[in-house]
């Protein structure tokens, strides 16, 4: 059954069974993560066969995933829909990158689905939700609930239907209509199995509705970090993909810097965990990319805490950003994001809304590549990152574009002239 | 109270009061239309003041609209949201137009809303629904129902909310998610006032649901032609706009040909009525544009009836087209479309799905102008129209693009590389 040996409180270090559903660590109310027995993995799979690069989805990291698709017992829980294995686009021609001599690329999580090599609902949330649904099936959980501002709900619905689970998605009524429409249509096509609850104005009210009407009646919350480390394990595949050998090569390696649009931060925790595990396996050394977490000045709890040297965020307020995924005023995983950023020699930086919009429009005009506003926020941060010496000439810099602009229409229509 | 003198059966000629709600003509089950007292209009507004070109919506045709916004009693019923007054784009550079020497332009009904000069829900349906809601308010009807494959429902919801009416929209669950999401969000934001019913797989089942659960309980159907000529009166403004004088000019004139993507045909009836009324006012002569109705070979009831010389369509079957608005297998107004097309010296022509897709992709690549697949179908028909002598070098040809590609995402995503 794969190499998971248990759960561990991220902050407390307290161990728990991974076979019993739980939410936050009862010791300190902080998230838990899954622990893999890497020594056993190294011992049993010394031939390196835990990794199958010919498989074109995130499950090709077989034994290093929290469920090993090469193990028939694990594979029975997994519902592969093509998630992961997303393209790394060459952005060396980006004007700022060219002027500064950066080897810039964009990891594009928002590509339209084409079977494999793209996320089925066009966002990085699919990595997490694919793992969530697989783990829920492993534990016999049949009813999952998530509050969301969009993509996470669309993703959970897709995997829930495919995996035969019931899901309830609570979202604000001003969620962009393509996402809302996907979930509403699924709710109609799968009555009883998929439930859409609209509650607002923010995700906070959506969460309160779930708590009152569902969680107390046996539905399991898979809100960010409420599930026991599952979404981290899914997002981990993003870090593994950034490290894996180029075709024909055998050396695992990391970029010099990762520019990441950070909301709740699951992806930061996932990537960091991936690299720690690769180091434990002896595949990379102790060096890490500088983690450069980008937020909007319209919602910047991490940036404020980072600049003030604090260990955790306090709830931010702000008008909110067109980079919808960054509208996260607080998060139980933020303390860990701050630890990671500092350990990496990185930073949390804020970009102005006007700069996000301008960069988004510019990229749209030049590429029509449907890059999302979160990815655009990262590109808009480049001048600041260069000026502050956080990325330098000759360095390999990866921007993560977490989703497609397509999902946010018509809310961002005016930026797509 | 404007210049409407009553209703008239389009085929029977039977007169009815326009102050009593009705559906189809009880004489023959065919549509009715509104009749304007143009002699009185000419007499009372001999100064031409019935028309206010400085007003940037369809209501600038004041006295020639079925409700006259310059009359305070009528104006109280109208809920103007900027509908109509859409741009006529120069398409002389289109490769087929250039090669054939056509003065081609595209009347773009799908432009993003910008207050005025665009339809608020990005489709020509807004012209009809703006009139529907105004007329319903005039008659004190408070509950409207429509079965739809998409845009008509989005539009009715927008005007219904603005006008304080209750609306129920029934649509198939595979309606493109931006439209479904708009309506679902509105239903949540306005509980009781906006109701979304999903029924499918086709609009037929949606209509049956409305009939069984709503129409028999006092809701008024504003399905195409079920309302008493109101949508024709709204769409009439499209014909008036094609005829109105250029800025600085005073002469009304018509193009040589209008290429129109035809589903139910309300727009054809509306444009034709507009021109008849302009002729009655002495503003144009008896010449008319050739009406060139475009359908997909995947759903072509009008083309079949036209080619076979029949007076009406019979229900077509077919796989359906990506030009969603053309998925209309039969229509009570089709007999009149055929009359108009023949009277104009025009034709009904079918284009292949592959040609629609290719033209849509080509236009998208070149302009990124969000033209809809219905508009693309018309452009794809040009080679055939030229070959058949239906449009000729030097002629002024207008293609009507009835809506935005944006509303159909992600269903047409693969065509937008």
Q: Per CATH, which fold does A88-120+230-415 belong to?
A: Rossmann fold (3.40.50)
CA distance A137 to chain B (A): 28
- Average pLDDT value for residue range B118-142: 97
Q: Please report the pLDDT score of residue B115 as a whole number.
A: 67
Q: Class assignment of domain A123-228? A: alpha beta
B114: pLDDT confidence band, cut at 50, 70 and 90?
A: low
The neighbouring-strand residues paired with A33 are A8
| CA gyration radius, chain B | 20
Instruction: List CB contacts (< 8 A) between A406 and chain B.
Output: 409-410, 413
| Burial bucket for residue B190 (CB in 10 Å: 0-12, 13-18, 19+) | middle
Same fold, A88-120+230-415 and A123-228: yes
Q: Which of A402-416, B108-122, B376-390, B397-411 has the lowest mean pLDDT?
A: B108-122
- Asked if A188 lies within 8 A of B181 by C-beta distance, the reply is no
Residues in chain A: 417
Q: Is 0.90 exceeded by the ipTM? A: no
Contact A285, A72 (CB under 8 A): no
Q: Which residues of B touch A (CB under 8 A)?
A: 112, 173-182, 184-185, 188-189, 196, 198, 368, 406, 409-410, 413-414
Interface test with A, best of B169, B181, B416 (most A CBs within 10 A): B181
Tokens at A332, concatenated: 């139980």
CA distance B338 to chain A (A): 36
- Asked if A178 lies within 8 A of B410 by C-beta distance, the reply is yes
Q: Please report the pLDDT score of residue A189 as a whole number.
A: 80
One-letter-per-residue 3-state SS of chain A: CCCEEEEEECCCCCEECCCCCCCCCCCCCCCEEEEECHHHHHHHCCCCCCCCCCCCCHHHHHHHCCCCCCCHHHHCCCCCCCCCCCCEEECCCCHHHHHHCCEEEEEECCCCCCCCCCCCCCECHHHHHHHHHHHHHHHCCCEEEEECCCHHHHHHHHHHHHHCCEEEEEECCCCCHHHHHHHHHHHHHCCCCEEEEECCCCHHHHHHHHHHHCHHHCCEECCCCCCCCHHHHHHHHHHHHHHCCCCCCCCCCCCCEEEEECCCCHHHHHHHHHHHHHHHCCCCCCCCCEEEEEEECCECHHHHHHHCCCCCCCCCCCCCCCCHHHCCCCCCCHHHHHHHHHHHCCEEEEECHHHHHHHHHHHHHHHCCCECHHHHHHHHHHHHHHHCCCCCCCCEEEEEECEEHHHHCCCCHHHCC
Q: Which residues of A touch B (CB under 8 A)?
A: 112, 173-182, 184-185, 188-189, 196, 198, 368, 406, 409-410, 413-414
- Asked if A410 lies within 8 A of B414 by C-beta distance, the reply is no
A200: pLDDT confidence band, cut at 50, 70 and 90?
A: confident
Q: Please report the pLDDT score of residue A113 as a whole number.
A: 64
Domains of chain B, residue spans: 88-120+229-415
pLDDT one-digit tens code per residue, A208-257: 999 999 999 999 999 999 999 999 999 999 999 999 999 889 999 999 99
Instruction: List CB contacts (< 8 A) between A153 and chain B.
Output: none
pLDDT one-digit tens code per residue, A226-238: 999 999 999 999 9
Alpha-carbon gap, residue A299 to B406, rounded angstroms: 28
Q: Per CATH, which fold does B88-120+229-415 belong to?
A: Rossmann fold (3.40.50)
Tokens at A15, concatenated: 């161990």
Q: Please report the pLDDT score of residue A173 as a whole number.
A: 86
Q: Please report the pLDDT score of residue B2 as a whole number.
A: 83
Give chain B's end-to-end CA distance (angstroms, integer): 51
Q: Which residue of B has its CA nearest to A122?
A: B410
- Average pLDDT value for residue range B268-278: 98
């Amino acid at each position: 059954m794969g190499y998971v040996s248990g759960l561990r409180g991220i902050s407390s270090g307290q161990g728990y069974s991974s076979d019993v559903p739980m939410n936050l660590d009862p010791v300190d109310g902080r998230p838990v993560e899954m622990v893999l027995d890497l020594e056993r993995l190294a011992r049993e799979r010394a031939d390196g066969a835990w990794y199958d690069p010919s498989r074109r989805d995130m499950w090709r990291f077989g034994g290093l995933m929290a469920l090993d698709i090469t193990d028939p017992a694990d594979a029975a829980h997994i519902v592969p829909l093509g998630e992961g294995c997303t393209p790394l686009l060459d952005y060396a021609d980006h004007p700022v990158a060219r002027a500064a001599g950066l080897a810039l690329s964009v990891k594009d999580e928002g590509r339209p689905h084409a079977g494999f090599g793209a996320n089925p609902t066009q966002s990085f949330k699919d990595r997490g939700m694919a793992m969530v649904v697989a783990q829920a099936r492993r534990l016999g959980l049949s009813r999952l609930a998530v509050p969301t501002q969009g993509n996470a709900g669309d993703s959970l619905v897709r995997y829930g239907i495919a995996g035969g689970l019931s899901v309830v998605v609570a979202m604000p009524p001003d969620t962009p209509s393509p996402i809302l429409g996907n979930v509403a249509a699924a709710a109609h096509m799968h009555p009883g199995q998929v439930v859409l609850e609209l509650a607002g104005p923010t995700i906070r009210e959506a969460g309160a509705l779930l708590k009152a009407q569902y969680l107390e009646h046996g539905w399991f919350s898979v809100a960010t970090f409420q599930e026991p480390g599952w979404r981290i394990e899914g997002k981990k595949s993003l870090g593994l993909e950034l490290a894996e050998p180029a075709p024909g090569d055998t050396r695992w390696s990391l970029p010099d810097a990762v520019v990441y649009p950070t909301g709740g931060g699951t992806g930061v925790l996932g990537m960091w965990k991936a690299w720690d595990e690769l180091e434990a396996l002896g595949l990379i050394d102790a060096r890490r990319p500088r983690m450069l977490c980008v937020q909007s000045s319209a919602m910047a709890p991490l940036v404020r805490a980072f600049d003030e040297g604090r260990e955790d965020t306090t709830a931010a307020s702000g008008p909110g950003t067109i980079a919808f995924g960054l509208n996260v005023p607080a998060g139980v995983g933020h303390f860990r994001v701050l630890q990671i950023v500092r350990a990496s020699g990185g930073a949390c930086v804020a970009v102005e809304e006007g700069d996000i919009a301008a960069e988004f429009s510019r990229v749209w005009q030049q590429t029509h590549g449907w890059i999302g506003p979160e990815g655009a926020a990262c590109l808009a941060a480049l001048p600041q990152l260069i000026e502050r010496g956080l990325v330098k000439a000759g360095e390999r810099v990866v921007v993560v574009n977490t989703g497609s602009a397509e999902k946010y229409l018509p809310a961002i229509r005016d930026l797509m002239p």
